[in-house]
Structure 1
Amino acid sequence: MKIQKTTAAILVLGAFAGAAHAQSVTLYGIADGGFLFNNNVKGEKLYGLSSATSSRWGLLGSEDLGGGLKAIFDLENGFTLGTGALSQGGLEFGRRAYVGLQSATYGTVTLGRQYSASNDATSNFASGADWAASGLGYGTRAGDVDNVDTSNRVQNAIKYTSPSYRGLTVGVLYSLGGQAGDFSRNEVTDAAVSYVNGPVKLGASYMFTKDPYYATFGDQGNSSSPTSATGGTNNMASRIYGGYASAGSQQIITAGGSYALGAATLAVLYSNTQFQNLGTVNAVGSYGTKYNGGTATFNSGELNVKYALTPALTLAGAYIYTHNSGADDVGSASYNQFNLGTIYQLSKRTSLYAIGFFETASGVDSTGKKAVADFSTSSYSSNNHQLAAIVGMTHKF
């Protein structure tokens, strides 16, 4: 009897040990703080604390279901280090919140608030999403109009990512609008392909969004009232494209690539963003109420380079050009931006950085007024140029 009890105890402990081994949960995050200077925020100088990389913490989990299948989840919170406030419009897990199944043979399916498949395939080629202050947002193409730097996530999304086959990966995403009686309202359709072969990386994507004022901007998404669509930090307040808030749809086509040559990595990125069917959406409180039909088109190109001067010290630079062709006979606008940065690794997890940004604008912007410089997430300049810099540190855990 004693032997039987001992054996039973061992079996019970073994079962618990097996369960613990089969499931894992990882706490991870980034704490980033820096001193920010902007020479012209509506005519005034700005000094303050900000972040080059978005501060965050998250829980990443997986459970082995057997047969090569895993259950996975990721809950990721964004916060402002200087104040402790929630980012992404105050959402608790505004950066990511999804659950799904993963198979090495068949790929991964996830449900929830997620990065787009387009972002997975092309963001690595953008300086703003890589080293040029992705959290601050200043380093993006004009206003992050193509969303390569994920100013906006996709909510209520079903996403599939294929396994890599000889370096080729395909991703597709569909976001349900969630509006009773109108299945297609606020929907998002997204597809992307990427290729990796040694030093060569390539990516291309297509994204189509119905009613972008509600479905995309303002962090809440899938809304039927403009209050939540304008309640977040990533709303359509940008002078660069805020005048197109009444667009019935938005189309984004992106393609890019990079090549690693010794200590240097060269990258290029092109995007075409269209705000279509202007005047369709009742975008209350926005600039974009005067357009009656038509399409506004942004073409953006970026060239950037990173160079590892030493194993610890990296130097980087980028040039970005964006042209807005305008709509309804309202004149066009052009934006030129330069990013320059350096990152020094104190350790594998801790680094120091210094990054500078300069943008110029010309022509007539989306509001029908003389174009002004307008860094993404910043208030616009009082004139056609804007200069900013941030110096700080990043710690990953």
Structure 2
Amino acid sequence: MKVRPLAAAVAIAAAGTPLTALAQSSVTLYGEIDTGIQYLTHAGTNGGSQLGMSTGSRQPTFFGIRATEDLGGNTNAVVNLSSVFNSNDGSQFIPGVEFSNEAYVGLSNPTYGTLTAGRHFSVLFDNTIIYDASYFAKYSVFSDNFIPAENFWVDNSIKYKSPEIAGVSGELLYKFGGVAGDNKAGRVIEASLKYASGGFMASATYSGSNGGAGMSSGRDTRAAIGAKYSFSGFTISGGYENISGSLQLSPAGCTYFGGVGYQVSSALNLNAEVYRYDYRGSNASATGYVGSASYYLSKRTSLYLLAGYVDNRGAANFGLNPYTTTGVGQGQLGVTAGILHLF
């Protein structure tokens, strides 16, 4: 919904500034709330199963404030503040971080692109989620550390998104380490190139992260590609990533995925996906299978059923949830039924 910045307007009016200065400005409150009931096998160190409430299983639960101001010459000031939270108990998703999703300010122009500074989704995230058939569900390609939890968001960063020219666009991100005497500590450099035409889209992405203070020589390097094609209600998608470096945010190796989505009707959507992670230099691997069904009660509210199974082999111990693990070499089955509302 759109909310006029009434308090700001009153303050400016009191200062004698014409209210017409705000004619092209807006503030939008937006978000999603997702709560479900989850059954998970091998959820503890004793191998026991778990039944409980789950938040953000189909989509992350968050709220945000987005603001724009027309500066003239087709240039806008842009602000985005959003925070992930746990809808089952109201707590912060990341304790102590007020705006854990994104927090940035910048300038946007349709000719020159968008430049922002603050806390962002990583470029790797931006160019993976669009090819994930499960689209950021807890059981998805994120379960196999295609993007490690440490790399979902990037603090202290500058991000640039180019305009699209003849179907081609680019994205760059640089994170400042901010460590005295060691500019490489905590540094992140990412870049991507994307092409879109009709129902086809493809991206190539590079992501490199240095370790923190005292470990800046350690590095996690990822090179990824992804593509999808939509036609007649179907969407076929897939991707591949090579992981190397000594930082080992996830084991050196490669991971790949493929999925299909089908819009059965305006009310029913089905998705299925397979992903695999192969360790380099060993026989360890993790293979995951995910399926989901969403039934839309309205444009904003849907019921969903999400199911997945991960088969760990050798030293692999990936859980269905990207923030958890299971026993080494142990499989895990999960089923979640819930409701999602957008506002």
Give the aligned partner of residue 191 of structure 1: 191
Give the aligned partner of residue 10 of structure 2: none
Distance 1:151 1:180, change over 3 A: closer
Report which of the two structures shows the higher radius of gyration computed on alpha carbons.
1
For the aligned residue pairs, the C-alpha RMSD in angstroms reads: 2.4
CA deviation digits over 1:235-283, x for unaligned, max 9? Answer: xxxxxxxxxx9981000111010001201100011111123267xxxxx
Q: What are the within-5 Å matches in structure 2 for residues 250-261 of structure 1?
A: 250-261=220-231
Name which of 18, 21, 25 aligns with 1:19.
21
What is the TM-score normalised by the length of structure 1?
A: 0.77
Give the aligned partner of residue 41 of structure 2: 39
What is the TM-score normalised by the length of structure 2?
A: 0.88
Q: What are the within-5 Å matches in structure 2 for residues 117-128 of structure 1?
A: 117-128=123-134
CA deviation digits over 1:139-185, x for unaligned, max 9? Answer: 235542434x8862011001111011111110111000010111111
Matched, 1:388 2:334: yes
Runs (4+) of structure 1 exceeding 6 A deviation are 12-15
Count residues with an aligned counterpart. 325
Distance 1:77 1:296, change over 3 A: closer
Percent of aligned pairs sharing the same letter: 29
AA matched with 1:182: D
Q: What are the within-5 Å matches in structure 2 for residues 161-180 of structure 1?
A: 161-180=161-180
| Contact map agreement 2:133 2:261 (CA 8 A) in 1 | no
Matched, 1:154 2:154: yes
| Contact map agreement 1:269 1:301 (CA 8 A) in 2 | yes
Give the aligned partner of residue 358 of structure 1: 309
| Contact map agreement 2:286 2:313 (CA 8 A) in 1 | yes
Of 377-386 and 30-39, deviating more is 377-386
Give the aligned partner of residue 374 of structure 1: 319
**SS of 1:165 mapped into structure 2:** coil
AA matched with 2:140: G
Q: How many angstroms apart in 2 are the aligned matches of 1:59 and 1:119? A: 21
| Higher fraction of helix | 1
Distance 1:275 1:138, change over 3 A: farther
AA matched with 1:72: V
Matched, 1:139 2:85: no
Of 150-159 and 340-349, deviating more is 150-159
Distance 1:151 1:79, change over 3 A: farther
Distance 1:150 1:260, change over 3 A: farther
CA deviation digits over 1:310-368, x for unaligned, max 9? Answer: 11101110011110114xxxx341111000110011111001100101010112x3xxx
Q: How many angstroms apart in 1 are the aligned matches of 2:203 and 2:162? A: 14
Deviation at 1:89, TM superposition (A): 4.2
**SS of 1:251 mapped into structure 2:** strand
Give the aligned partner of residue 265 of structure 2: 310
| Contact map agreement 1:138 1:377 (CA 8 A) in 2 | no
Structure 1 residue runs of 5 or longer lacking an equivalent are 1-11, 215-223, 226-244, 279-287, 289-294, 366-370
| Contact map agreement 2:144 2:276 (CA 8 A) in 1 | no
| Higher fraction of strand | 2
